[in-house]
Structure 1
């Protein structure tokens, strides 16, 4: 690796065009300036040609000067990014399951609107992808439904989310046969969620394996659309249901024995959260408290 002091001397020498002025600017002797140049030339070959009253860069010298400028720009970008974090600005990166993401993303946009120095980057993903993304430092914050057992991660309770049985608004529910008559609107976690919830409310029923399927969607924001149109029922987390625009078209059935999942906020344990991430957590926690 090239010595940064030598590189700085060379960059100033190329700018000043004089060993004497370079030494005065860096508080070095002319001999020290020549020594720095000689050290670089020992590694890279001839870098300049001395002419009366001026110096001329060789092609290698011009390439090294470009390198010095690139390094200077990179350092400035680094310092700017670090200053941004101290000021609470920069990127907020969050990866979450779909349901809670539908709830949080609009609030993050509210925070960004009030603080234009922030940039929001959010992704919907299942638990396994959330864990990998946070561990790989691709996202600073994540939410998962199961508390991770990994010493590299810090996990704290963030919210609780019940599973809900959702029917079309005009339909009643008296027994299992009413659900069979409607049919199930499935989704990637649909069978598992429905089994967890309905096996408690209907312990003597045949189970979801025998339930007719009336539709499927892998888009969290569209799962309730066929339910609202009277085409079937579904089981879905509460935050996803609350994000649906046409609440009047839905009917939420209160089950005798509910299922409530805890959502865990995770981030890397080895280093502190950025100021902007902590700012986002505080804001989202405040909004969650008003739900």
Structure 2
């Protein structure tokens, strides 16, 4: 195995672009830098073409640089594996739908504030992307609205999330004609969610396609803004409404039947969750179950 110090010097030399800057960066003499490169070249052949104010890698040099990158990546993976039993240090990586994500993110930040050794990485994504990210081990934890049927995944119930009909607080909504007068604020899942909910609330009505569309946005955190300003109503999962900062400006229209989805917590089944992920998942689940209306 090649001397790790020689490899570090070689990588630093390529990054710094000169022997002088490399020596300053590593707090070594230029002679020491030259000696480390010479030792590597004695084993591997010429690694560099030295030109005025420029260093050019030979094919052997490019191969060695690629090897150094692989060693660095393996070192990072080793440190990550060794930290799996540590509840207070490391990364918490969660990918989930936007609605539940709006509520979970502040909770995650509070966990991080209480445990500064943790690093929070959260991404909002549809079910398909959540599944891919967890299966490819890019995120340790995921939440989906559809229960996956894949033996590579461990799946458990996280919580229930009802759909809600949300209208401006200033409007009186007593029936379908009121919704038609107010108009619909659409979003990427708006038509599908609206059809599911409104068909239960108003089974005799002609359907969401007959309602005028008053606006559209694909940003989950902004969908309720036009509703709060009296520009239309919408249909959203409850957690998106709970995360809205001006609840007094909107109202939830109750219906005869509850329409809800189960949110499923997923992670790879082949290896156990890290201790920090187990702890955070349990904390989030407890807090979500304790949320009121």
Smaller-chain TM-score bracket: 0.7 to 0.9
**Distance in 2 between residues matched to 1:261 and 1:189, nearest whole Å:** 14
The aligned residue for residue 200 of structure 1 is: 200
The Cα shift of 1:97 comes to: 0.4
The corresponding residue for 2:79 is 80
Q: Distance in 2 between matches of 1:99 and 1:186?
A: 15
Report the equivalent of 2:258.
258
CA distance, structure 2, for counterparts of residue 152 and residue 267 of structure 1:
9
Task: Name which of 55, 59, 70 aligns with 2:41.
Answer: 59
In the alignment, the residues of structure 1 paired with residue 96 and residue 214 of structure 2 have an alpha-carbon distance, to the nearest angstrom, of 28
The corresponding residue for 1:91 is 91
2:235 aligned counterpart, secondary structure: strand
Which stretch of structure 1 is more off in the superposition, 103-112 or 278-287? 278-287
**1:142 to 1:72, Cα distance in 2 relative to 1, 3 A:** closer
The 3 A distance-change label for structure 1 pair 111 and 202 is: same
Superposition deviation, residue 112 in structure 1: 0.8
Distance 1:78-1:162 versus aligned 2 partners, 3 A rule:
closer
DSSP 3-state at the match of 1:288: helix
Q: How far does the alpha carbon of each residue in 1:252-271 deviate from its partner, in whole angstroms, 9 at most, with x for none? A: 11111120110000111111
Equivalences for 1:38-49 in 2 at 5 Å? Answer: none
Deviation at 1:75, TM superposition (A): 6.3
Task: Say which SS state the counterpart of residue 222 (structure 2) adopts.
Answer: coil
Q: Compared with structure 1, are the counterparts of its residues 271 and 250 closer, same or farther at alpha carbon in structure 2 (3 Å cutoff)? A: same
Equivalent pair of 2:91/2:118 in contact (CA under 8 Å): yes
SS in 1 for 2:203: coil
Separation of aligned partners in 2, 1:138 and 1:76: 18
In the TM superposition, residue 137 of structure 1 has moved relative to its aligned partner by 1.0
Aligned residue-pair number: 240
Please, what is the CA RMSD of the aligned residues?
Answer: 2.3
Aligned partner of residue 220 in structure 2, secondary structure: coil
SS at match of 1:172: coil
What's the CA shift string for 1:55-98, capped at 9, x where partnerless? Answer: x847233879x889888866654443333222222111110001
Distance 2:287 2:197 in 1: 27
Using the size of structure 1 for normalisation, the TM-score is 0.76
> Cα 1:183–1:57, aligned 2, differ >3 Å: closer, same or farther?
closer
**Does 75-84 or 213-222 show the bigger shift?**
75-84
Q: Give the conservation status (yes or no) of the 8 Å contact 2:159–2:289.
A: no
Q: Segments of 4+ in structure 1 off by > 6 A?
A: 66-75
Where does residue 178 of structure 1 map in the other structure? 178
Show the counterpart of 2:145. 145
Segments of 5+ residues of structure 2 without an aligned counterpart are: 7-37, 48-59
TM-score, with normalisation over the residues of structure 2?
A: 0.76
C-alpha distance 71-169 of structure 1, shift in aligned 2 (>3 A): closer
